[in-house]
Amino acid sequence: MSAPTAGPIPLANARERVAERMWAGQKRLVDAFEEIDAHGRFKASSWERPGGGGGTARVLEGGAVFERAGVNVSEVYGDRVPDSIVEHRPSAGGLPFYATGISMVIHPLNPAVPAFHANFRYFEVGDGADWWFGGGADLTPIYGRPEDAAHFHGALKTWLDRHDAAHYPRFKDWCDRYFYLPHRGEMRGIGGVFFDDFTPSGDDGWTAAFALVDEGIRALEEAYLPLVRRHKNTPWTDEHRAWQLLRRGRYAEFNLLYDRGTRFGLQTNGHVEAILMSMPPHARWQFQHTPEPGSPEARTLALLQPRDWA
C-alpha cells in the first residue's frame, strides 16, 4: 500500500499542538466519567518509554457504574518505526517516528450499559513530511437496542458531517470491517466509525485533519454518555452477568489477536499495564455456547452485523 500524499505541516509546533489536545481531552473525559459514576475515582500512573517518550494512564476500577474505565495519553518517539506500522505503510520502514494519542475503553458494571472504546492518534515519520491522523469510536452492547445504536451512530455522523458528508459512510464501513472477528464470523459490537492514514491534501490539509480530530474527542461525550445515563440503573440478574462475561471474552479475543493499537504499544515497549488496560476486568469462555432462539441474547447477536443505524 502506498502512502497517501500529504500536504505540508503549517506549524513548527504541530506535535505540541496535537499533544496538548490529547492531554486536554483526557482531563475532560475523566471529569465526565467521574461525574456520572459518582463513586469511583481515576488513579493516574505515569510512565517513561525506553528509547523516548512516555505517557499517563488514568484508570478507574470498582466504581458504581464503571467496573473498569481507562483514559490514556501517550507521546512516544524513536529511531525506527514499529513493524505494526510498516505492515500497512512500507514506505515508513527504517525511519524515525513520533506518535501521540488518546485511547479509552469503558467496561460498565451493569450489563444493560454498552461497553465503549475510542481513540485518536497522530503520527509523523522521518522529517515530518510524512504524517497522518487516525481514530474512531465503537460501541459494544451486551444487550443490543436499536435506539441506542441509532443515537450513537447519529452523534458520530453529526460530528463528521460538519467536516465532509462523505466521511461518515466511508468511516462507518471501515469500522464494520476493522472491528470484526473472522474466526467467529461476527462483529465485536454494532460498530461506529474508524479511520487511519488520514492525510487530506492541499496546503490546509493538516489543519483540516487536526480540526476533525479535535472536535471528535469532544463529540465522544454526546455519543456515549446519554446511553450510560439511560441504562445505569436498569435492574439485572446473574444470568445477565453471565452473558456479559461471555461477550467480554469476544472483546478480549479481538484486542489480543487483531487490534493494531495493542500491537503498536507492545512493539514500542510501551507501558504494559496501560496497553492492557483495555482488557475487561472479568471475562468468560464457554464451550459451544448458543443462546436460546428468540431470547434477548439471540436478538443481540442478530444485531452484530453491518447495517445503516444512522
Residues forming the active site: 117
User: What pairs with residue 53 in β-bridges?
Assistant: 76
Measure Cα distances from 12 to 9, 17, 18, 76, 214 in Å.
Answer: 8, 10, 12, 18, 18
User: What pairs with residue 234 in β-bridges?
Assistant: none
Q: Is the dihedral of CA 201, 205, 206, 212 positive or negative?
A: negative
Element counts in the chain: helices (H) and strands (E): 9, 9
User: What pairs with residue 58 in β-bridges?
Assistant: 44, 71
> How far is the C-alpha of 98 from the C-alpha of 128, rounded, in Å?
9
Please say whether the beta carbons of 48 and 74 come within 8 A.
no
Q: Which of 307, 310, 308, 301 minimizes the C-alpha distance to 140?
A: 301
Q: Which of 147, 155, 152, 59 minimizes the C-alpha distance to 106?
A: 59
Q: List, in order, residues 6 or more apart from 306 with CB less than 8 Å away.
A: 173, 176, 187, 191
